[in-house]
Chains A and B, each alone.
Chain A
Amino acid sequence: MISLRMKIVAVMIGMMILLEGCWDTKDINKQYLPVVMGIGKGSNEKYNIILEIPDAAGKIQFLEKEAKSISKAIDLIRTDSEKSINLVHLRLLLFDYKIAGEGIRDIIDYAVRANDLSIKGMVAIVDGDFDKTMYHVISPTPEISTYDFFNKEAGWTPNQSLLRIWEAYRSQNSYSEDMAIPLLQNGERTMYKFKGTAVMREDRMVGRLNREETFLYNLFKGEYTGGTIEIAENTSVLIKNVKIRHYPRWSAKGPSLRTDITLDVTIAEGPSGKSNMEIEREVRKQLNRNFEKTVKKLELLRSDVLGVGVIYRPQLSEEQLKNWKSEWFPKLEQKINVQVNVINDIFIKNEIQKDKTLIR
C-alpha cells in the first residue's frame, strides 16, 4: 500500500521535474525566430549582421546591427527589438563576398560553438550587392523559401552546390579536404539566383566554379539526381544513375588518381537522325573535356574541394595525411574517364532503324 505521504511526495517531485523546463522561459509569441542570418562587412565595425524573420502573415521582417563580433551584434539587435530573439530555427548563413575573401573560420567556429544554433544549417556566399540580396523580397513569400532553395526534398538540383555548417567546420579542420560554398544573388522573380560555387582554400575564397563546373563537382561527389547534360542544340540527356570508381595510385612522383565515372542516361531530347551511339560519344567527349578543364583549374587554385585527400586516406600514414594539402596535393595527377551508357526508359524506339519518311 502506498501511503498518502508517499503519494504527496511523488506529486511534488513530478511538479518539480515539470517546472524545471519552464525556468525563465519565454512564450513563443514573444520571440523572433530568424531563419536567415546575413553576415556582411560593417561600415564602421567588423561585422554587419542582418536577421531575416518570417512572420505568420507571410511577411519578412529585417533586423540589422553592426558590431565587432556576431554575438554582440545579435545582442544589440535584441536590445532594440520588441521581442526576444532565438536562433534555434536559423537555417542559412549568408556571407558577404568580401568576408569570404578574408576568411570565415571564426564565423564557422562561432556557429558550431553556439548552443542554440543547429549545425545542420547551410552556408552560402552572396555574390554581388549584399544589402540588395539580403533585403530582396518576393511576394507572396512562402515562409521558408530561403531554406527550400537548398533543400534536397524541395528545390535543390545538381547544378547547385550545398554546404552545411558542420561540413564547413569539418573541412576547415580537415587535413584532407577543402570546402566549396554556393554563390547566390537575389533573383528577379525568385528569391535567389544561383551564380556558381566559391572554391575555398582552408577558410578563404580563392576562386569560383561556374554552373556547369558545379555540376561536374556534384557528379564527382555522387550527387546527380535529376541532372541534365546538354550537348548541342536540341540534344540533351538525363542522368539516371552514376557509378563512380576511384583508382588511387602512389608512385615515386606522388599520388595519381584515376576515376571512372559510368553514367546511365536516357536521351531526353535528340534531333532525328542522330543515333544513340553518336549522342553517347558526344556526351563522353564533352564531359571528359570539361572534367579535364575543371580539374586543372582546381589544381591551379590548390584547393582540394573534390576531397581527393579523403579518397587517399586508406593509403596515407598520419604524417603524410598532415602534409596532404601542402605537400602531396600539388603533386597530384588526376584523370577522369567518363563512360556513357544510354538506357532507353522512354516511349520512342532507337531512331536508327527507321526509314526517313518525312518530306521537307
Chain B
Amino acid sequence: MNKFQTIILFFLLHLASIFAIFPERMIASASKGHWMPVAIIFLAELLVLWLYLKAMSKFPEKTVMELCSDSIGKWGAGLIVLPLLVFLFLEVVLLTYYLSSEIRTVLLPETPAYATSAIFVAICFYGAWTGLAAMIRASMGWFILFMPFILFSLLISIGNFNFHYIFPVWDSQFSFLLRPDFYVGTIIFAGFLFLGMTPSHLRIRFGTAAALVGVIFLIALTSVYVPLLIFGQETAIHFQYPMLMASDTVDLEWVVFDWLPSFYVVSSSGLGLIKVAVLLWMFTSMLKQLYLPKAKSRWILAVVCLFLYAASQWIPNIMALDKFLYINACLCLYSTVGFPIIVYLSTLWRRKEVRA
C-alpha cells in the first residue's frame, strides 16, 4: 500500500511540471512536429531513471547521499552534490515565482506579489516540515482532490479542436535540439530525484516507474497538443500560459464554468505546492547530511524558506524568470542526467572494490 503512495507522488510531481512551464516551453521549442521533443525528453528520462533505480537497488538500505559519500568520500560527494543543491534551490525559487504570478494574473489581480508568495511559501514550509514520509502519504489525498480538476481542465476544450493543426508532424532537422527552450523542458525530470531519498520499503521497481512514465508521457503530449489543436502553432507561441488560454475558449452557460481558467490555476498551484514542498525537503536534508551535520534540520528549513521568500520577491519580472530558467536548464541537465549516471558509476566502482 505504501508503495502505491510513492507511485502517486511520483506521478503528481511530474504533473506539476506539466501544469507549469513544460507545455509552453515545448511549444516554443519547435515550430512543427511537437511530439518529437516531448518523446525525446521522456526517452531520456526512462534511460536515466533506469540507471538511477539500478544503482539504488544494489544498496536498498541506503539513500543517494550515503551511497555517494561511501564511494567517493565526503568531500567528493559534497562537490558532486553542490550543483544539484543549486539546481534545487533555483528550481524552487522559480516555481514559486511562476506560480504566484500565475495566481495573480488569473485569480487575484489586486493582491500584491508579497502576499501570494508568502502564503505559498508558508504552505510549502509546512509540507517540508512534516517530512517526506508524510508528504508521500498526503499525495494520496492530493490525488483524489486534484485529479478531477486536472482531467477537467485538460479535456474540457476538446470541442474546439481542429485536428488539421497537428500538421506538419515531422521535423527532419531536429531543430528543437538547438533551442534553449527544449532544455528548459527537462525540469520535468526533477520529479524522480526524490526516489533516491525514500526509505527502503517505499522504493518502486523500474517496471512500475517505466509504466508511470508512459502514462505521464501521454498526459504531457495532451498538454502540449491541446493548445496547438485549438490555436495552431502560429498563435500558441504567443501565449504565456497556453493551456490556460485553451480552457478559456470554452463557452458554457453555467455560472460555475463562467471562468474556466480558474480550474486550471487551482490544479496548477495545488500540484506546484506539493512539488515545491518535496524539493524543499530534499534540499534541506541534503544540506544537512553533507554540509551541516550538527545543525537542526528544522532550523535549516526555516532559514531556507526565508531565503526562498526573499529570492522570489527579488525576481523583477517574467523576463528575468526566463533568463534564470535558461541558466537553470544547464544545472538541471547536470542534476537529472549527470548526477544519476555518476551515482550509477560510483556504485559499479564500489562493487569492484568490495569484491577485490
> B-facing mask of A162-182, CB < 8 A → 1, else 0?
001010011001111000000
User: B249 at interface (Cβ–Cβ under 8 A)?
Assistant: yes
In residues 90-136 of chain B, which contact A (Cβ within 8 Å)? 105-112, 115-116, 118-119, 122-123, 126
Cβ of A65 to closest chain B Cβ, rounded Å = 22
Q: Knowing A20-B111, A25-B110 are in contact, say whether A317-B168 is a contact too (CB < 8 A).
A: yes
Whether the Cβ atoms of A316 and B106 lie closer than 8 Å is: no
Whether the Cβ atoms of B164 and A311 lie closer than 8 Å is: yes
Give CA–CA (A321, B168) in the complex, Å: 9
User: B351 at interface (Cβ–Cβ under 8 A)?
Assistant: no
Whether the Cβ atoms of B167 and A173 lie closer than 8 Å is: no
Whether the Cβ atoms of B108 and A318 lie closer than 8 Å is: no
Interface locus among A113-121, A229-237, A268-276: A113-121
Number of interface residues, chain A, beta carbon within 8 A: 32
Whether the Cβ atoms of B115 and A13 lie closer than 8 Å is: no
Give CA–CA (A45, B126) in the complex, Å: 55
Task: Name A20's contact: one of B116, B162, B249, B253 (CB within 8 Å).
Answer: B116
Whether the Cβ atoms of A173 and B235 lie closer than 8 Å is: yes
Chain A hits for B249, CB < 8 A: 119-120, 164, 166
Whether the Cβ atoms of A17 and B119 lie closer than 8 Å is: yes
Whether the Cβ atoms of B245 and A166 lie closer than 8 Å is: yes
Whether the Cβ atoms of B108 and A23 lie closer than 8 Å is: yes
User: B321 at interface (Cβ–Cβ under 8 A)?
Assistant: no
Number of interface residues, chain B, beta carbon within 8 A: 35
In residues 232-286 of chain B, which contact A (Cβ within 8 Å)? 232, 234-235, 238, 245, 248-251, 253, 259
Q: Knowing A20-B116, A88-B259, A169-B235 are in contact, say whether A13-B164 is a contact too (CB < 8 A).
A: no
Task: Name B31's contact: one of A153, A313, A318 (CB within 8 Å).
Answer: A318
Chain A hits for B112, CB < 8 A: 23
Q: Knowing A23-B108, A318-B168 are in contact, say whether A16-B250 is a contact too (CB < 8 A).
A: no
In residues 137-185 of chain A, which contact B (Cβ within 8 Å)? 151, 153, 164, 166, 169-170, 173-176
Whether the Cβ atoms of A170 and B231 lie closer than 8 Å is: yes
Whether the Cβ atoms of A115 and B245 lie closer than 8 Å is: no
Give CA–CA (A88, B258) in the complex, Å: 10
User: A24 at interface (Cβ–Cβ under 8 A)?
Assistant: yes
User: B152 at interface (Cβ–Cβ under 8 A)?
Assistant: no
Chain A hits for B111, CB < 8 A: 20-21, 23-24
Q: Knowing A173-B238, A313-B164 are in contact, say whether A120-B115 is a contact too (CB < 8 A).
A: no
User: B32 at interface (Cβ–Cβ under 8 A)?
Assistant: yes
User: B165 at interface (Cβ–Cβ under 8 A)?
Assistant: yes
Give CA–CA (A13, B125) in the complex, Å: 12
Chain A hits for B126, CB < 8 A: 13
Chain B hits for A164, CB < 8 A: 249, 251
In residues 207-236 of chain B, which contact A (Cβ within 8 Å)? 230-232, 234-235
Cβ of B27 to closest chain A Cβ, rounded Å = 13
Chain A hits for B32, CB < 8 A: 318
Chain A, Cβ-Cβ closest to B103: A20
Chain A hits for B245, CB < 8 A: 119, 166
In residues 292-310 of chain A, which contact B (Cβ within 8 Å)? 310
Give CA–CA (A153, B254) in the complex, Å: 12
Chain B hits for A173, CB < 8 A: 232, 234-235, 238
Q: Knowing A120-B249, A153-B253 are in contact, say whether A13-B167 is a contact too (CB < 8 A).
A: no
Whether the Cβ atoms of A174 and B234 lie closer than 8 Å is: yes
Residue among B122, B230, B234, B253 with the highest chain A CB neighbour number at 10 A: B234
Chain A hits for B259, CB < 8 A: 88, 118
Whether the Cβ atoms of A24 and B234 lie closer than 8 Å is: no
Give CA–CA (A316, B249) in the complex, Å: 27
Give CA–CA (A23, B248) in the complex, Å: 24
Whether the Cβ atoms of A166 and B164 lie closer than 8 Å is: no
Besides A119-B245, A316-B168, 7 other CB < 8 A contacts? A20-B111, A116-B109, A118-B259, A166-B245, A173-B238, A174-B232, A313-B165
> Can you sample 30 A-B contacts with CB below 8 Å?
A13-B126, A16-B118, A16-B119, A20-B108, A20-B115, A20-B116, A21-B108, A23-B110, A23-B112, A24-B111, A25-B110, A115-B105, A115-B106, A116-B109, A118-B259, A120-B248, A120-B249, A120-B251, A153-B253, A164-B249, A166-B248, A170-B231, A170-B235, A173-B234, A176-B232, A311-B164, A313-B167, A314-B167, A316-B168, A318-B31
Which residue numbers of B lie inside 8 Å of A, CB to CB?
31-32, 105-112, 115-116, 118-119, 122-123, 126, 162, 164-165, 167-168, 230-232, 234-235, 238, 245, 248-251, 253, 259
